[in-house]
Amino acid sequence: MIHLAPGDPTELIGSEDPTTIQSLEQVRKLYGLDQPLPVQYWNWLKRVMLLDFGRSFQPDGRPVIDKIAERLPVTLLLNLIEMVIILLIAIPIGVRSATHQYSTFDKVTTLFVFIGFATPDFWLAVLLQILFGSQFGWPISGLRHPMWEYLPFWRQQWDFISHLILPVTVATFGGLAGFSRYMRQSMLEVIRQDYIQSARAKGLDERTVIGKHALRNALLPIVTILGLSLPGLIGGSVIVETIFAIPGMGQLMVQSVFARDYPVIMGNLVIVAALTLGANLVADLTYSAIDPRIRVSRRGRR
Amino acid sequence: MSPRLSLGRLAVLAVLVALGAGCTVDPESAAEPAPLVAAAKPAYGDTYIDALLGDISSLIPTITSDGASHTVGGLIYSGLVRFDKNLVPEGDLAESWTFSPDCRRLTFRLRPNLTWHDGQPFTADDVVFTWRTIIDPKTPSPYKADYASVDSVEAEGPGVVHVNYREPYAKALTSWSTYMLPRHLLEPYVQEGRIREAPQNWNAPVGTGPYRFVSRRAGERIVLTANPDYWEGRPHLSRVVYRVIPSQATTFLELKAKGVDSAALTALQYQRQTDYPAFKRAYTKFRYPSNAYTYFGFNLKDPRFADRRVRQAFAHAINKRELIDGVILGLGREATGPYKPGTWAYTDKVKTYPYDMDRARRLLAEAGWERNAEGRLVKDGKPFTFEILTNQGNDERKKIAEIIQSQLHELGVGVEIRIIEWAALLKEYIRKRRFEAIVLGWGTGIDPDQFVIWHSSQQAPEQMNHIGYANPEADAALERGRAACVREERVKHYHRLQEILAEDQPIVFLYFRDALPVVSSRIHGIDPGPNGITFNFTKWFVPRPLHRYTAG
């Protein structure tokens, strides 16, 4: 697919420098780009089977796996923190606006949600940078203070965390809106079910009805969405990563596409695909944790 | 800003990075730090924090044309010669050099007792090795063409190097500003064609330059420290940190919050957003023409553009001053040809094309284009319409195309604009000659040799004369200018070339945009000149009381 995009890595070496173009043909041969596409693909497949993703076409020539390995942790860390915060905030909001439908709280959160949906990431990011960075002296971008090497251990950790606050806030803001909506919707459906009625009829107090019977059932669709949104989160972090100068997977992917760095693009796709499968597996396991019936029915069929 | 860039090689990114050489300096900056400069005593210490728009792609910049790599590499490595404030070559690792009378033998005498960062001696063998590395077909270097006419390079003892040329080559001296590479570390990798995989290319570069490599984090930062054994003495700023910040807007915010010490401003930032007292106290602004010009070019194989009168008419129809004011807020200089005003090859004694719509109309009428009832130009029943291509992500060029569109519309010429991603534009349109007109830029190197751009022999798909320009007189001037090694003689040929190009207008030369760097005002010793500001980076210093980062 990538090869459908015109241009190849060597095209970019010369660009506007008159001295360089004459050497392009040699470089192309060196990278094996003169081979037919099926041959290039077969060579790549053979190597991936052995978990060898090859080396980047960039002049650093580093193994793709290294390039991804040094960038994956920060992206995963950001996304995990983001997810946890989203869930911690979105679930209570969703539950409450469902149980108190059309209350003032529901209306305020609905308004908030639409603002969250409508706010572009990059705009919010710059606003926060100006407000907290320029006015209050918070770190604006990057992950570490320029003199980080000279800080004592605990200051280093705090410095790192303080650099993450703004990007996490921005990344959370948009996601929060969506998840609290899903939660509200799913909860609304559940509390109209008969078994909630019967739970109430049994004389259970409201907290147990909502917190135990309703919430567990309402969480199922959320888990599905969560599992599906992981690859999107990794891809979608490009904007946040670029504005906050965080060297993560999103940046790597975009740069590789612009540079037509095929091995890195392919490696990235494989990793994201693996992560998606992994996330779906985790989602499936979570189903059974939340809803014992899923486990039971499977055993029953055996 | 990038210290002591080898300008010749950086031409590519000059447009993006907005760095370069020039002659005039903004009066604001020239006047500003005067009282302190007189009082300040050079001191050692402090950390200088610079911003890079993209991560470096290599720590052996010989194998890349990426601007960031050359910025960082320029501090780690050094060449045999370098360029001073006025772009005059001076000895770097070489103490002196001589040309043989027939210009075909160049002899360098190296400085005594030079060492690599790891303590090994630097000798003539390393020079020979560097040359072998670049020309080795297994080395992916974009600079091979610079050494195409080198016949051999010989070491005579440890301190003398002879370079023999098959024919006189005007860029000979400039080409030896290339970074010297350590033979004792790189030889096995080069022989196996694996130079990219050498640790020196990733996190252990060893050079002869003023700064040593300390550490890097991919996509985040690169840290260098002063080299106490540098031949010119230890540099004053003891630590340099390059931060990778991919967004220009973020870099600007960091600048305001003092998170970086230097950045290249956009025209808008320079004119409108940095004109308040606090910013002026914290930073010194510089302004000089960059090493790149923007042009409006034509496919000369297209019969409509093959007619010189049409091109001249367009040149008259474009108000360059207004264009500069509109697109870059006046922060640029009108171009009359492919050389930067103020450099030795430049002449202003060429035909110019003042904004004059009537002359433009007359020239088009002479060329057989007539206005029809609707006011559109037609010839043989066909209306004059064409498409301008330019690359994505460059707002400046997009605006230029729009201004040209509206100005040519007044003449009755219909213009469409198409914006295409860079790699696709090069491969599918420029290389294949599938374009009618383009708005693009050329970098101008340190040497005025532009054979590869204008010579009629350079029209193959991979070559740079993609507009298809062919003029025997221009060819002759290019050939003679290239073969002469005495500057006084070369000047004549390049002046002639500019006259021919001005007359022919194979492209409409629009402007040289100004480079607009700012540097923290605590940094002293900056001496702006035609070579920009960073050529004397090792002499920059922060007076003791103004040190900001003391731990380093």
Interface test with A, best of B49, B57, B458 (most A CBs within 10 A): B57
> What integer is the mean pLDDT of B279-308?
92
pLDDT value for A20: 46
A265-269, B114-118, B332-336: lowest mean pLDDT where?
Answer: A265-269
Beta-strand relationship, B385-391 and B437-443 = parallel
User: How many degrees, rounded to 5, is the angle at CA A23 between CA A21 and CA A25?
Assistant: 100
High-pLDDT (> 70) share of chain A, %: 84
Average pLDDT, chain A: 80
* Spatial distance between the Cα atoms of A17 and B432, rounded to a whole number of angstroms: 18
Flag whether pLDDT at A282 surpasses 90: no
Does the beta carbon of B201 lie under 8 angstroms from any beta carbon of chain A? yes
* Spatial distance between the Cα atoms of A247 and A254, rounded to a whole number of angstroms: 12
Interface test with B, best of A21, A26, A70, A150 (most B CBs within 10 A): A21
Q: Which residues contact A267 (CB under 8 A, 6 or more apart)?
A: A53, A54, A64, A65, A67, A68
In total, the C-beta contacts within 8 angstroms joining chain A to chain B are 198
Tally: H helices and E strands in chain A: 14, 0
* Chain position carrying tokens 């002869």: B208
Structure tokens at B380: 């043989």
pLDDT value for B13: 31
- Do the Cβ atoms of A129 and A215 come closer than 8 Å? no
CA-based nearest distance B390→chain A, Å: 13
* Spatial distance between the Cα atoms of A66 and B299, rounded to a whole number of angstroms: 45
Tell me which H or E stretch contains B150.
strand B150-156
Beta-strand relationship, B288-298 and B94-99 = unpaired
pLDDT value for A192: 85
- Do the Cβ atoms of B210 and B523 come closer than 8 Å? no
pLDDT value for A199: 83
Chain B residues 113-142 with CB within 8 Å of chain A: 137-138, 140-142
- Do the Cβ atoms of B4 and B74 come closer than 8 Å? yes
* Spatial distance between the Cα atoms of A258 and A8, rounded to a whole number of angstroms: 10
Flag whether pLDDT at B550 surpasses 80: no
> What integer is the mean pLDDT of A14-42?
60
Please indicate whether, in this complex, the C-beta atoms of B426 and A7 are within 8 angstroms of each other.
yes
What DSSP string describes A102-138? TSHHHHHHHHHHHHHHHS-HHHHHHHHIIIIIIIT--
A260-269, B247-256, B298-307: lowest mean pLDDT where?
Answer: A260-269
pLDDT value for B141: 83
ipTM above 0.90, yes or no: no
Please indicate whether, in this complex, the C-beta atoms of A18 and B428 are within 8 angstroms of each other.
no
> What integer is the mean pLDDT of A99-119?
86
- Do the Cβ atoms of B69 and B59 come closer than 8 Å? yes
Does the beta carbon of B512 lie under 8 angstroms from any beta carbon of chain A? no
The verdict on pTM exceeding 0.90 is no
* Spatial distance between the Cα atoms of B161 and B105, rounded to a whole number of angstroms: 10
How buried is residue A292: exposed, middle or buried, by Cβ count under 10 Å (0-12/13-18/19+)?
exposed
pLDDT value for A30: 60
Structure tokens at B337: 């040809």
Q: Indicate the SS3 state at residue A220.
A: helix
Q: From the list A19, A30, A245, which residue is nearest B140 (CB)? A: A30
Beta-strand relationship, B237-244 and B45-52 = parallel
CA-based nearest distance B489→chain A, Å: 23
Flag whether pLDDT at A295 surpasses 70: no
pLDDT tens, position by position, B35-49:
444 457 888 989 999
Average pLDDT, chain B: 87
pLDDT tens, position by position, A176-214:
888 888 888 888 888 888 888 888 888 888 888 888 788
* Chain position carrying tokens 């945009």: B513
How buried is residue B395: exposed, middle or buried, by Cβ count under 10 Å (0-12/13-18/19+)?
exposed
Flag whether pLDDT at B447 surpasses 60: yes
- Do the Cβ atoms of B135 and B450 come closer than 8 Å? no
